[in-house]
Amino acid sequence: MIVRRARWIAAGIAAVGLADMQAARAQPRDADWAACEQVQDSGRKIDGCTAVLDRGTRESARNRALALTNRGVAHQSRGDLDAAMRDFDQAIRLDPRNAVAHGSRGTVHAARGDLDAALRDLNDSIRLDPADARVFNARGIVFQRRGDLHAALRDANEAIRLDPRNPAFFRNRGRAHRSLGDRMAAVADFSEAIRLDPRDRFALIERGVTHASLGDLDAAIRDYDEALRIAPTDELTLNNRGIAHTNRGDLEAAMRDFNETLRLNPDNGSALTHRGIVQSQRGDLDAAMRDLDEAIRRNPRNVLALLNRGVVFWKRGAPTEAMRDLDEAIKLDPRNAAALVNRGRIHRSRGAFDAALQDYDAAIRLDPRRALAFIHRAYLHRERADLDAALRDFDEAIRLAPRNALAFTGRGSVRAARGEDEAALRDFAEAIRLDPDFALAYVNRGIAYWGRGDTDRAMRDYDEAIRLDPGLGLAFASRGAALLRRGDLEAARRDLAEATRLGARDAEADLAAVERQIAEARRNPPATDAAQALDDEARTRAAERLRRSADTLLLELERFRF
């Protein structure tokens, strides 16, 4: 299952465009100055600027400040932030009105995480030169990192007004739009960045992330494909595409992407975590546990890995260990709605209904668009026989996720319990339309048909459920009861014996009843009226048992389906 977060990885993109400052000089160039001012070769730039600075006072204080600024930019581009900071500090002492030095030093502060100092320098740079679009762009990124999204958007707008041809500015404005919830505006900005520079893979990645958040996974994968055509070994893009494939249900493609990501970088904790999630979905719980254990060993604060390891523990029948992981995930991130939903599921499985309801309620308060939280809470209400509350939650889940087959199946079971047979049948039919391989929807629809006396349709649904899932004991139990209704005692005994072997609830009692009827019929064949009365009584008892069994299996099944 994806608890997913799915969280979409865009780390590292935020820093792009921060350190592209370049000081220039109005005086005639010589060879040292030419090297100091060129931007293609950072080593040559450092050597040229150093040669200029070695001239000492033969160069003016302003020129020395320009050379220090340019050398600082070169050091910064090579990742030597300490050397860059020394040069920018000295440049500002020599020329306090050097706007580029202030702006560049601000980007170093930002790279070090000192956002307050970064803002002071970037503000000074804008005060000294309010026409430099690059500084507005840099300050907008700092505002984004501080969470001041409206200020970030204002700066991005100003950067684009000053320089509407720079794709990085559209990219950063797109990120601000997305953070503010305007994802269509974000897509438009990323698209403009790509139009300006078709090889801007960062814009392609960001647009892919946004398409994925909108649920358009095909468009997301197309963007990731194009970004990988430009940079085939980019692990960020491979990892993101793997997540998109996972959410599309293409687990094999997802595994290929996560395996390649880990081949390129065995320490990629996100790829380890998401590969573990895919292994869990594939049913390979041992492999899932190995990946998630390793991800947590590398980073004990990896909330997603803790959450999903908790799910694997639960699937393996270890609720205590599952609860431990989910408690830790919530401790690290108390606003993680997915972790709350999953902890609620464990509380419910233990019969702690009040604690489960508290977790579901909290998850919905934090994320009122999380359809799965409404589905799980609906099943809890169904289990507590609060059919009205269950129906309201299933209605909301279907409004939020109109293609969720389990939500329709669950709502159908509630409507059947309320005596709304036609509405229940419509819900089961919609679940089957959405997921033609969902065996339990066929069983539930068969039970509904059988309750109306339509045994032919019921039999067809039971047959299809068994074809789809030969291990579904409830399907054999249901078909066995239908065969009993039709008087085929031997066939009923075979199905009920299989249902008993598979552990279907109440199947053993039904099988014993059939065995008694077979023995009695052999000793003393009943009259027609008496046989009909016995048949109707058996049908009534079995129908009630099957309805309870269907409810129980629905409640169990949703833990494995998500």
pLDDT in the model for residue 504: 72
Asked if the structure places residue 425 within a domain, the reply is yes
pLDDT in the model for residue 536: 55
409 and 428 Cβ atoms separated by less than 8 Å: yes
Q: Quickly list H helices, 23-148.
A: 31-37, 42-53, 61-77, 81-94, 99-112, 115-128, 133-146
- Neighbouring CB atoms inside 10 A of 290's CB total 15
Asked if the structure places residue 37 within a domain, the reply is no
- Cα angle: 354, vertex 355, 360; to 5 degrees: 95
Return the HEC string of 197-226. Answer: CCCCHHHHHHHHHHHHHCCCHHHHHHHHHH
Asked if the structure places residue 506 within a domain, the reply is yes
pLDDT in the model for residue 518: 72
> Which CATH number do you get for residue 539?
1.25.40.10
pLDDT in the model for residue 482: 83
Structural domain containing residue 445: 352-561
- What is the distance between the alpha carbons of residues 362 and 378, in angstroms, rounded to a whole number? 15
pLDDT in the model for residue 534: 44
pLDDT in the model for residue 452: 85
556 and 349 Cβ atoms separated by less than 8 Å: no
Asked if the structure places residue 57 within a domain, the reply is no
- Neighbouring CB atoms inside 10 A of 526's CB total 14
CA-closest candidate to residue 410, choices 393, 422, 434: 393
pLDDT in the model for residue 18: 42
Structural domain count of the chain: 1
Asked if the structure places residue 292 within a domain, the reply is no
Give backbone dihedrals phi and psi of 491, rounded to 5 degrees, phi first: -65, -40
- What is the distance between the alpha carbons of residues 465 and 123, in angstroms, rounded to a whole number? 67
pLDDT in the model for residue 319: 92
pLDDT in the model for residue 451: 83
pLDDT in the model for residue 5: 29
pLDDT in the model for residue 503: 77
Inter-axis angle of helices 115-128 and 99-112, nearest 10: 160
- What is the distance between the alpha carbons of residues 274 and 255, in angstroms, rounded to a whole number? 9
> pLDDT digit string (tens) for 361-404?
999 999 999 999 999 999 999 989 999 999 999 999 999 999 89
- What is the distance between the alpha carbons of residues 428 and 166, in angstroms, rounded to a whole number? 53
102 and 67 Cβ atoms separated by less than 8 Å: no
What percent helix, strand, coil does the chain show, rounded to 5?
A: 75, 0, 25
> pLDDT digit string (tens) for 497-507?
888 888 776 66
Task: Based on DSSP, count helices (H) and strands (E) in the chain, helices before strands.
Answer: 30, 0
- Which structure tokens are listed for 65? 């400040």
- Which structure tokens are listed for 536? 């109707």
Asked if the structure places residue 497 within a domain, the reply is yes
Low-confidence spans in the chain with pLDDT less than 50: 1-20, 26, 528-534, 545-546, 549-550, 552-562
pLDDT in the model for residue 555: 43
Distance from chain centroid for Cα 146: 24
Distance from chain centroid for Cα 155: 30
Asked if the structure places residue 302 within a domain, the reply is no
DSSP string, 139-198: HHHHHHHHT-HHHHHHHHHHHHHH-TT-HHHHHHHHHHHHHTT-HHHHHHHHHHHHHH-T
